Structure 1
């Protein structure tokens, strides 16, 4: 089991690529660890980078 607490912490960085960096951080972790259970905790679960990473959608 892999747990991400406060998965949107990286979005608070004053950088225009913060959402993209946050997406790739989560996406790479999902791909790297061969695990069936992931728990992602976030203050903003509807944020597109978090939602896309959880769906493994690179669009």
Structure 2
């Protein structure tokens, strides 16, 4: 059974991908880290920079 944090992360990640803030592969990779509260500022920055770089290259 999923924890409330896991359920919330599962609902938030698709929105972040839809808004272009996360790449789909990063959403899968970091969902558990988000749910566990182990995301650091460096993680968020790296993810955002990767998503922004991909958007610019499109």
TM-score normalised over the length of structure 1: 0.30
Larger Cα-atom Rg: 2
The structure that is strand-richer by fraction is 1
TM-score normalised over the length of structure 2: 0.30
Of structures 1 and 2, the one with the larger relative CO (CA 8 A, separation 6+) is 1
